[in-house]
Structure 1
């Protein structure tokens, strides 16, 4: 009788509270990297291929709900329950900018040219900061229909993605008009949404499901049920043949993109 193939975990020190956001960097000259956010207030940077710990960003005073890396993985950004979004030097861990908000920041994203930072949260407002002129007046997009949970840029930097904590669906916004132009419908609120590095897919997590959508025509391509409620999912940037997902059980797991089968778990509590 054939024995069922069992995924063998590669265990290393991880977060002390649930993982709520994951982000793969683009492929750089030094490889690619994985950054994770947790309610323990300390984002962690890791080698994207091995999961090996590189460093921890210290400075937030509340749960960190969102993290991302810029195109060259030289800067990181984070959104926190301490009412701030921070931009970090990803090589040294130093804080470069700290943007004050009036409520919890649940989401942040760099534009593809790394010049802009998009944030959203409990204020139901999408804000755009110019990182070349951080003291300049910021731009605001029309008010979101609900508390913002995720934000992301499409590759044109003219379209934004956002989701809400209290309703299903991912909304696409036209930056020029500030209006919603398309909605990807889901049954549960979407807790993460990102565009793949090659621009082909939008990856979303809602409830215990990870979905992949066509980024050109916005149709559903794949949908996989996960072993637990998932807070975040990200498609591996180098080959696009696997994706990671993390959530309530504090594990980050790797899955085959084509089959949805779990391959390894790369870190745990």
Structure 2
């Protein structure tokens, strides 16, 4: 697995995300400049300039025409994906932490940070794909998390919203009236990430408690637990094989005195069903903050505290092994 090493950020990577087709890769960083790359060769297409603080999350519309970003400058920004033109900016009382478009892209969800007496809420805004101007007023506000929401994702049907937070809980909300309808105490420590499977039947959470956990989306039933000896910052489910990918490592504050091996900075692949570790991939010189499989499952991307994005294409050996592993 020879990776493309993408160096376009000056500070730690916070989020990596493919568009629906998988031909574009979007990355965010503490350096204020979200970036778009061509996934086939690692070419940097351009950056989105306008934020004045770290950018923590990004999402892309179904047709890859627009991008939404969440920033520590207390705002979320809407952009044209191809030109980098800023179309609209929403303002909040605390940093924006997570964003996502609804199915059909008619709504936008923005989760804010719990800070300086401000709660972590989810704000729902209407999104007009045919206009640059958008409404500043939310149509709904979802309240209840006791810790900062780190990820917000819409059900594929649009009827529910899933949120994961640093309070260790995952919650399901009614997207029509904003009521909380389900909750699970998923982890004993901070949740770092939450990602859906490609068929939207499962989701995986990753935590500072040294585990990633696989859940049923329908009723929040715990299916599997993947345990390691370090914090897990991100986890992703393969769309083609019974594999899950974990990224993490020793806390960033302790990295300066730690080698690659001591810090546990490898990406790890586990068997989805049997919970066994199948392999590791080295490369980062600090904790891995974010990982994602491509939509076709032929590659994965990782973003690290070292400021690098590593784009790995799987080799024939992986595909042969993957077919054997998949049940």
Category of TM-score, reference length = shorter chain: 0.7 to 0.9
Once the two structures are TM-superposed, the CA of residue 94 in structure 1 deviates from its matched residue by 0.6
Inter-CA distance 67–201: structure 2 relative to 1 (3 Å threshold): same
79-88 vs 198-207, which deviates more?
198-207
State the 4+ residue runs in structure 1 displaced beyond 6 angstroms. none
Q: Check if 1:22 corresponds to 2:16.
A: yes
Once the two structures are TM-superposed, the CA of residue 242 in structure 1 deviates from its matched residue by 4.9
Match of 2:306 among 249, 264, 267: 249
For structure 2, which runs of at least 5 residues remain unmatched after alignment?
114-118, 227-244, 248-263, 266-286, 319-327
For structure 1, which runs of at least 5 residues remain unmatched after alignment?
1-6, 260-269
The C-alpha deviation readout for 1:217-250, integer Å capped at 9, x for no partner, is: 544357355343443232321x236543323233
TM-score, normalisation: structure 2? 0.67
Q: CA RMSD in A?
A: 2.6
Partner of 1:93: 84
Name whichever structure is richer in strand by fraction: 1
**Aligned-partner SS, 2:5:** coil
TM-score, normalisation: structure 1? 0.80
What is the aligned residue count?
A: 246
Once the two structures are TM-superposed, the CA of residue 151 in structure 1 deviates from its matched residue by 1.2
Match of 2:223 among 205, 220, 225: 220
Match of 2:49 among 44, 49, 58: 58
Inter-CA distance 233–153: structure 2 relative to 1 (3 Å threshold): farther
Name whichever structure is richer in helix by fraction: 2
Aligned 8 A contact 2:246 2:291 in 1: no
For the residues of structure 2 that align with 1:170 and 1:34, how far apart are their CA atoms? Answer: 27
Aligned 8 A contact 1:79 1:108 in 2: yes
For the residues of structure 2 that align with 1:211 and 1:44, how far apart are their CA atoms? Answer: 30
For the residues of structure 1 that align with 2:211 and 2:47, how far apart are their CA atoms? Answer: 29
Partner of 2:58: 67
For the residues of structure 2 that align with 1:62 and 1:13, how far apart are their CA atoms? Answer: 20
